[in-house]
Amino acid sequence: MYKILSKRLIAPKEYDIWVEAPRVARNGKAGQFVVLRTSEKGERIPLTVADYDREGGRIRIIFQVVGKTTMAMSRLDVGDSLHDVLGPLGNPSEIENLGTVLMVGGGVGIAALYPILKELKKAGNKVITILGGRTSELVILKEECAACSDELLVTTDDGSEGIRGVVTDAMQILAERGEKIARAWIIGPTIMMKFAALKAKELGIPCWVSLNPIMVDGTGMCGCCRVTVNDEIRFACVDGPEFDGWGVNWNEFMNRMGQYKDEEKISLEKFQSEVGE
Amino acid sequence: MAQKITPKKTPIAEQDPIVRGKNFDEVCLGYSLEEARLEAARCLQCKTAPCIGGCPVAINIPGFIKALADGDLPKAWEVLSDATALPAVCGRVCPQETQCEGVCTVGKIKGKEPVAIGKLERFVADWKAAQPEEPVTPPAQDKGKVAVIGSGPAGLTVAGDLAKMGYKVTVFEALHEPGGVLMYGIPEFRLPKEIVRREIGNIRKLGVDVEVNSVVGRTLSMEEIRSSFDAVFIGTGAGTPHFMRLPGTNLNGVFSASEYLTRINLMHAYQFPDYDTPTRKSKKVVVFGGGNVAMDAARSALRLGADEVTIVYRRSVEELPARIEEYHHAVEEGIVFNFLTNPVEYIGDEKGYLKAVRCIRMKLGEPDASGRRRPIPIEGSEFVIEADTAVEAIGQGSNKVLLNAFPELKLNRWGYIDADEKTGETNLPGVYAGGDIVTGAATVILAMGVGRDAARSIDAYIQGKKQA
Ligand SMILES: Cc1cc2nc3c(=O)[nH]c(=O)nc-3n(C[C@H](O)[C@H](O)[C@H](O)COP(=O)(O)OP(=O)(O)OC[C@H]3O[C@@H](n4cnc5c(N)ncnc54)[C@H](O)[C@@H]3O)c2cc1C
Ligand SMILES: Cc1cc2nc3c(=O)[nH]c(=O)nc-3n(C[C@H](O)[C@H](O)[C@H](O)COP(=O)(O)OP(=O)(O)OC[C@H]3O[C@@H](n4cnc5c(N)ncnc54)[C@H](O)[C@@H]3O)c2cc1C
Ligand code: SF4
Ligand code: SF4
Ligand code: FES
């Protein structure tokens, strides 16, 4: 079970894999995620399902190596298996024809944006997509997103591709052009989501952000993933992961993300010394 | 005859409080055979056996105790396993003082303690586990197919009983390991996980399939399940933590007991970094609540190396809902109790970490709906407890993942499944429910009791349908 069927390095430290998980593939929808473990002693980590192959019983996961578990995953080869895969979890995205939608993605968050964008296009929306990154090679899934977008803008901090700047600059360009946007989806690094959500609010565009707090069970049982949205405590794994971007308490969210920094470092260094990296 | 009985229970070996406060090994070491037989001899073999009525699964208590007193351990085991699938668990975690032992005739005699029924039950179960394994031939499984959702004590009991009756049973469990609260909630030092695994192993040997990583309502839908099984039992527990919703709840260092204990038990955070999941390294810990969950969280915090652990409970020691044995153990280990106190606010530092909790003193007023005297805050009595970690153990609600995906199922006004207490029947034919998801947070043995009853009604339902 949960065999890795293919594996590709798509950007520095970012891998694109397909995993055998027939039940997740059968029932999953855009916007949902899985919780997985790589080994018996491993941590449970959440990762978005970037694509479903219902007939083939496979799911696609795109992940970035940031710590112990993702590093362990990156060392698995085709034919190896994950220890556990639980899903699909979280609420599916609300897919309907809204008119024009704006899709804003950054970093590995583009992997989570892509399935939603694809469904929104299928539902008949005009899809305008902005993908941002520090430099050109970090902007992943450009072709796939372009294929499902009416327009695709790329922004890079260093100007190596597209607009030199950040995603909010591209949002400003669209606004100045008078684009009427019904709703935006913003998924990426926290700091990007925060500023893009503020920008959306300034422009009067309602937006969803997909929050990625630390989780344990992913089924609403522990409350580890709690976030404050519009002054209410919500559990990201069962009430989200998408929330009203205008209402997120970003400072609290960022604080909570850093809770285990020291332990994460210990864990990663122990692993690196064990595998000799 | 009564005068020959020793007034006290036969003493049982326990780890020294100072030593055990630093490890996660089991506190109670159990009886030797001699001690167990000595204790068994305290039983009067009452004709009326009130103890049986005090046990939610009606174990033939005098029966197994007699066999034990006679030294016939195989017989004692047989009597036990007739009535319960998890004797090693219940012998350890049942609130015996309010159940079997609470009505024991010996305990009613002035100055005498009841027979240590729970300790004897665990003795027999542990003896059995130490015997060489006998090959089990799983019973034929041709009477029908039943799905069980949730692998806590309720679900496991239904599964074991139906397998014995000749059904093919599949248990679906959301987490990566079966056992429910026995696995993720109750700590190793009270209920070693090896024992839970062993008892689940016994149920598997009866031919029960356990599918982990399966959240019903997400991984599989209720329609899929109902169309491929003759009947369904829902035992998804009361796993959703309540928060008091005080200011500062989302500060780093504030936990629900569910998260705190899940990290430690299911994820082995006490063995970090050998296991990957960490938990907070704490110096001063405050736990809110007075039940078993609060005791477990506090005693776990101590074992993780905290310098000071305080339990803050809004009523007095008399109202403490925890098992009395656990309260005593906690006191012995040096847990500080702050009764008649309630938190009002979490105070954080500039980086978003908890540094203190503002509390208020309470007094007891008139009895409330539950018959317990209602705690009322004393104005102007606020004070501050320094703490880097706070754990809320104030109760759990029903887990909504399945309920939200299955709106046809009727709920009661507290959000639990509306099911018949005796039969487990819900408003939908062929769908049964029991355990914490029906009663709200209760006990292991009550969950097993309804599991037992539900298994019987499921059998009757399926056979009835076949005859029709
Ligand atoms: C619903 C959801 C969907 C997600 N989808 C994806 C995805 O599709 N692809 C992907 O690469 N990642 C995704 N993440 C993030 C992923 O879960 C984390 O990167 C992972 O848990 C890190 O584990 P680790 O052991 O490798 O690193 P750790 O050692 O646990 O963490 C190392 C560092 O990574 C960061 N980190 C820790 N936890 C998270 C987190 N939950 N989210 C973001 N950063 C974190 C912190 O800065 C931390 O210091 C998602 C998270 C959530 C909650
Ligand atoms: C810390 C703690 C200490 C306790 N101490 C004691 C004690 O000393 N003595 C005592 O008698 N009782 C004690 N209890 C209470 C006792 O554990 C519970 O009453 C009992 O476990 C309830 O059993 P259950 O089968 O109803 O549910 P649970 O044990 O809660 O099991 C439910 C299972 O269902 C799974 N599940 C939930 N939703 C789904 C889904 N959609 N699909 C698939 N699976 C799902 C869950 O993951 C879980 O494994 C304690 C409880 C806690 C939390
Ligand atoms: S199962 Fe619990 S109540 Fe029944 S005899 Fe055993 S300890 Fe007592
Ligand atoms: S009530 Fe007590 S003394 Fe009487 S049979 Fe039961 S255990 Fe023995
Ligand atoms: S991760 Fe445990 S409740 Fe969301």
CA distances from A51 to A112, B309, B394, B430 (A): 9, 47, 40, 36
Average pLDDT over residues B60-75: 96
Residues B176-206 pLDDT 10s: 999 999 999 999 999 999 999 998 998 999 9
C-alpha span between A164 and A132 (Å, rounded): 10
Exposure b/e, B315-324, CB count within 10 A at least 16 = b: bbeebbbbbe
A219 → closest Cβ in B215, B256, B278: B215
Atom of ligand 2 nearest to the CA of B437: 26
Please count the helices (runs of H) and the strands (runs of E) in chain A.
9, 16
Instruction: Indicate yes or no: CB of B176 within 8 angstroms of CB of A266.
Output: no
* Strand order from edge to edge, sheet including A33-37: A45-48, A33-37, A84-89
**Residues A49, A94 contacting (CB under 8 angstroms):** no
Q: Which two tokens stand for residue A66?
A: 């940031």
Residues A2-58 pLDDT 10s: 999 999 999 999 999 999 999 999 999 999 999 999 999 999 999 999 999 999 999
**Residues B311, B295 contacting (CB under 8 angstroms):** yes
Lookup result for tokens 């905290």? B306
* Of A43, A214, A216, best ligand 5 pocket probe by most atoms within 8 Å of the beta carbon: A216
Query: According to the model, what pLDDT value does residue B133 have?
Result: 84
Exposure b/e, A236-250, CB count within 10 A at least 16 = b: bbbbbbbbebeebbb
pLDDT grade for A157, boundaries at 50, 70 and 90 = very high
Using the mean position of ligand 2's atoms as its centre, give its distance from the Cα of residue B425 in Å: 20
Q: Which two tokens stand for residue B16?
A: 């020294």
pLDDT grade for B83, boundaries at 50, 70 and 90 = confident
Residue B129 has pLDDT above 60, yes or no: yes
Residue B3 has pLDDT above 60, yes or no: no
Closest to B308 (Cα-Cα) out of B333, B279, B344, B329: B333
C-alpha span between B184 and B264 (Å, rounded): 8
Q: What type of residue is A253? A: F
Average pLDDT, chain B: 93
Residues B333-351 pLDDT 10s: 999 999 999 999 999 999 9
Q: Which residues of B touch A82 (CB under 8 A)?
A: none
pTM equals 0.93
Q: What type of residue is A107? A: G
Q: Which residues of B touch A228 (CB under 8 A)?
A: 250
As to burial, measured by CB atoms within 10 angstroms (0-12 exposed, 13-18 middle, 19+ buried), residue B328 is exposed
Residue B459 has pLDDT above 50, yes or no: yes
Average pLDDT, chain A: 95
Residue B1 has pLDDT above 70, yes or no: no
Query: According to the model, what pLDDT value does residue A55 have?
Result: 94
Helix (H, G, I), strand (E, B) or coil at A195: helix
Query: According to the model, what pLDDT value does residue A254 have?
Result: 95
Using the mean position of ligand 4's atoms as its centre, give its distance from the Cα of residue B48 in Å: 9
**Residues B327, B320 contacting (CB under 8 angstroms):** yes
pLDDT grade for B149, boundaries at 50, 70 and 90 = very high
Residues A195-235 pLDDT 10s: 999 999 999 999 999 999 999 999 999 999 999 999 999 99
C-alpha span between A164 and A159 (Å, rounded): 4
Residue B2 has pLDDT above 60, yes or no: no
